[in-house]
C-alpha cells in the first residue's frame, strides 16, 4: 500500500505560522510549536482537504514532528542536515537548544482566515498544556498506527478526525493534483 503524505511544503506559510505560534506561547520550544502545528494541520486537513503547512509529520518518540520544519530549526541551531544560508536565521533564533525566539513579526498575509482559525484553536486548546500533557495528546490514532520514525499517512491523520474513506480518497487525489500541477511548471 502506498503511503500518502502531504508533501506540499509551503515554506512561507509554515515559517509565518511558526513566528505567530512562538509569539503566542509562554514557552516556545520545538516540542510545543510542533504539536500546535500538528493539531492545526491535522484538523485543517480534515475540514478543508489541505494542511496549513503542507509538511510531512514523522512519528517520533515524543509525538508527530514536521519533517521540513525540524530540518529548518536544526539548521538555524547549527546542527541540521543543511546549512542555514541566513534566510531562516533572519526570522528567528534558537536559544538554550530548543527555544524559538522570533526576530520578526509574522506576515499574516501568508496565512488564510481558516489557517489562522485552526492555529488559534490549537493554541487555545493545547498552548497552556505541560510538555507531558501535549505529548500524551499527540500520541493519537495517527501516531500509534505509524511505525516509529516514518511519515504519518494522510489516511491515519484523517481517520483520527473521523473522516470517511471516500472523503479521504478525494483529499488524497486533490493533493496529488496540486503536487503534479506545481511540478508541471518546474
State the distance between the two ends of the chain, measured CA to CA, in whole angstroms. Answer: 28
- Model confidence pLDDT, tens digit, residues 104-159: 999 999 999 999 999 999 999 999 999 999 999 999 999 999 999 999 999 999 99
Cell (9 digits) for 76: 538555524
Please tell me the distance from the alpha carbon of residue 82 to that of residue 60, in angstroms, as a whole number.
20
Q: pTM, whole model, 2 decimals?
A: 0.93
The secondary element (H helix, E strand) that includes residue 56 is: none
- Res 176 pLDDT > 90: no
Is the confidence at residue 1, as pLDDT, over 70? Answer: no
Q: Give CA–CA dist 8/10, Å, rounded.
A: 6
Pseudo-torsion of CA 93, 82, 108, 90, nearest 10°? 40
CA dihedral 178→161→155→43, nearest 10 degrees, is: 30
pLDDT single digits (tens) 86-117: 889 999 999 999 999 999 999 999 999 999 99
Rounded CA-CA distance 114/133 in Å is 26
What average pLDDT does the structure give for the chain?
Answer: 93
Amino acid at each position: 500500500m502506498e503511503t500518502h503524505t502531504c508533501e506540499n511544503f509551503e515554506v512561507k506559510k509554515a515559517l509565518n505560522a511558526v513566528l505567530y505560534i512562538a509569539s503566542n506561547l509562554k514557552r516556545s520550544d520545538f516540542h510545543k510549536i510542533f504539536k500546535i502545528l500538528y493539531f492545526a494541520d491535522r484538523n485543517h486537513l480534515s475540514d478543508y482537504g489541505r494542511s496549513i503547512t503542507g509538511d510531512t509529520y514523522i512519528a517520533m518518540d515524543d509525538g508527530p514532528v514536521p519533517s521540513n520544519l525540524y530540518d529548518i530549526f536544526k539548521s538555524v541551531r547549527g546542527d541540521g542536515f543543511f546549512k542555514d544560508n541566513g534566510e531562516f536565521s533572519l526570522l528567528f533564533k534558537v536559544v538554550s537548544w530548543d527555544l524559538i525566539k522570533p526576530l520578526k513579526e509574522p506576515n499574516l498575509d501568508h496565512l488564510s482566515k481558516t489557517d489562522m482559525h485552526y492555529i488559534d484553536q490549537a493554541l487555545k486548546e493545547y498552548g497552556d498544556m505541560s510538555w507531558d500533557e501535549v505529548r500524551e495528546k499527540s500520541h493519537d490514532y495517527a501516531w500509534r498506527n505509524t511505525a516509529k520514525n516514518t511519515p504519518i499517512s494522510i489516511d491515519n491523520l484523517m481517520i483520527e478526525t473521523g473522516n470517511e474513506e471516500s472523503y479521504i480518497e478525494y483529499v488524497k487525489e486533490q493533493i496529488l493534483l496540486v503536487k503534479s500541477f506545481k511540478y508541471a511548471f518546474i
